[in-house]
Amino acid sequence: MKMLINVPETVVADALRGIAAAHPELTVDVERRVVVRRDAPVAGKVALVSGGGSGHEPLHAGFVGPGMLDGACPGEVFTSPVPDQMVRAAAAVDSGAGVLFVVKNYTGDVLNFEMAAELAEDEGIQVAKVLVDDDVAVADSLYTAGRRGTGATLFVEKLAGAAAEEGMPLERVESLARRVVRRSRSFGVALSSCTTPAKGSPTFDLPPGELELGVGIHGEPGRERRGMMTAREIAEVAVDAVLDDLRPSDPVLLLVNGMGGTPLLELYGFNAEVRRVLDARRVPVARTLVGNYVTSLDMAGCSVTLCTADEELLRLWDAPVATAALRWGR
């Protein structure tokens, strides 16, 4: 496989150097693998820290900045960051108001963030945690006990980030983040495998003419494989899977997310089909975001995430944000 890299061993460090060069509003510690907003810590503000394996960009470093995360910890490709990174990030962004760890439900992330929280509290940093487990495709996977954390991570980081920016205390920010998780569900579809730099070949076998319904962001198996389907058919399967579990009573936030290898031309066409299905199911859409936000390297495919949004969540969604990958209202 052809890749725009030097050697697999330095791919994460090289990317971090590129982020530092492109975004002077961030402080990037390449050696210690920590990215924080340059104005951190912000006096009196609850800080948000997240992280996970690299390969899901722009998650999480691309969401560091006013209105979202204060710090991010990138691990090696598809590998959890280590507790030292998380503690270092927490110490760099804590103003004394406390730190919220946003954790996707993968075993390595969960264990390492739990250890980091204990270590940070030993250093006098107040820490709360929220676990994102929005994927309805499977109950357990190769990487998790329980549902996987996927697209709703963006909703949690944006909405809780806006709440923290408004000056809400840690308990309220944590409670709101948990509310977003409860109100969010996702379902993903793979049209191709992904390729890690270390392996240099597809990480799983997906024969030509087939797709994987309910795939995970590391290529974990989903519910079933089928022959290739149209965007209309895929939208019906994905939206129905989410609605069977979510059953929204309010308008929804909609994320039509690319897995990294699908162009926007296709994603916008798919969004039209998703909206057609939601309209047919009488689910009003309040806001829509389309693009590659929670990716799986070069995987072709998409995911659909819905979050039932009350007036407060809509206000926080519309609040200003200024990150490398998401920005509006400033």
99-126 pLDDT, tens digit per residue, is 999 999 999 999 999 999 999 999 999 9
* CB distance 113 to 103 below 8 Å: yes
Active-site residue numbers? 56, 218
State the average pLDDT for the chain: 96
> Sorting pLDDT into bands at 50, 70 and 90, what band is 140?
confident
**Mean pLDDT over residues 271-275, rounded?**
98
| Strand segments (E) across the chain | 26-29, 34-37, 47-54, 71-77, 99-104, 127-132, 184-190, 210-213, 224-227, 252-258, 285-291, 301-308, 321-322, 327-328
CA-wise closest residue to 132 among 60, 36, 32, 240: 60
What is the per-residue pLDDT for 15?
98
| pLDDT of 161 over the 80 cut | yes
> Sorting pLDDT into bands at 50, 70 and 90, what band is 249?
confident
What is the per-residue pLDDT for 80?
97
Q: How far apart are CA 302 and CA 271, in angstroms?
A: 10
What is the per-residue pLDDT for 330?
72
What is the per-residue pLDDT for 1?
80
User: Token match 């799986």: residue?
Assistant: 296
